[in-house]
Amino acid sequence: MIGKLKGIVDSYGEDHVILDVQGVGYVVQCSSRTLQRLPKPGEPSALSIETHVREDAIRLYGFLSDTERDWFRLMQVVQGVGAKVALAILSTFEPGALATAIATGDKAAVSRAPGVGPKLAQRLCAELKDKAPAFGHVDPGVAQLASALQDKKLPQPVADAVSALANLGYPQAQAVAAIAAAAREAGEGAGTAQLIKLGLRELAK
C-alpha cells in the first residue's frame, strides 16, 4: 500500500498529476485545489497518498496534507459519498473550512460542492458533526453551540441572535461563531439585542 510519494512533477491532466518517482510515472488523482497548488512540471513535489484497490484497477489519490487525506477517508463512510464526490468537496473547501461548515451544520455551504445536494449535505453534517472538530481548527465552543442549535436546545436569545445574523446574509458557520464569541463575552442572561450587537462587532474584526 502506498502512503506517500515524493518525486518530480512530470505533467498534468484535468483531474490528475503524473509524478515521476525515480523513473516510474504514477498517475495520481487530486482535487482541483490540490492541483492548483502543485509546482510546475520539472519541479519536486510530495503527496500523501490514499490507495484504492479494485478488481479492475488501482487508483492513487493525492493530497497536500495528511489532514486533507483524513477528510477524504472520513467522508466516504457517509452513504452516497464516493471518491469522486469527496474530491469535489475538497476542491470546494479547505479542510479547516470544511470542518467548520460540518461542525456548525451549515448545510447550505456544504451543498455548494458539485454533486452534493441538500439531502447529502444534511447527511454529511449529521453523521460527521461530532468528528469534525478533530479534523480541523474548530473552536469546541462553536461546535457545541452549533450542535445545540441543531437539537433546538439553545436559550431563545442565543438562537434568535444566530437567526438574525443569518437573515442579514451571513453564512450560518460565521453567524454561529460570532454569537458563540458574543455569548462568552456577555455571559449568561444576555439578551438577543446585546448578542446581536456583540456578534456584529465580532464579524467586523
What's the pTM value of the predicted model, to 2 decimals?
0.68
pLDDT at residue 138 tops 60? no
CA dist., res. 98 & res. 171, Å (int): 13
Query: Which set of grid coordinates corresponds to residue 36?
Result: 492548483
Q: Which of the four pLDDT bands, split at 50, 70 and 90, describes residue 15?
A: very high
For residue 205, what are the CA distances in angstroms to 138, 198, 201? 18, 11, 7
Q: Tell me, what's the pLDDT at 170?
A: 83
Instruction: Give the CATH fold of the 66-138 domain.
Output: DNA polymerase; domain 1 (1.10.150)
CA dist., res. 172 & res. 106, Å (int): 6
Question: What is the CATH code of the structural domain delimited by 4-64?
Answer: 2.40.50.140
Please, where in the chain does CATH 1.10.150.20 lie? 66-138
CA dist., res. 46 & res. 65, Å (int): 10
Please, where in the chain does CATH 2.40.50.140 lie? 4-64
Are the C-beta atoms of residues 50 and 40 closer than 8 Å to each other?
no
Q: Write the pLDDT tens digit of every residue in 76-96.
A: 999 999 999 999 999 998 888
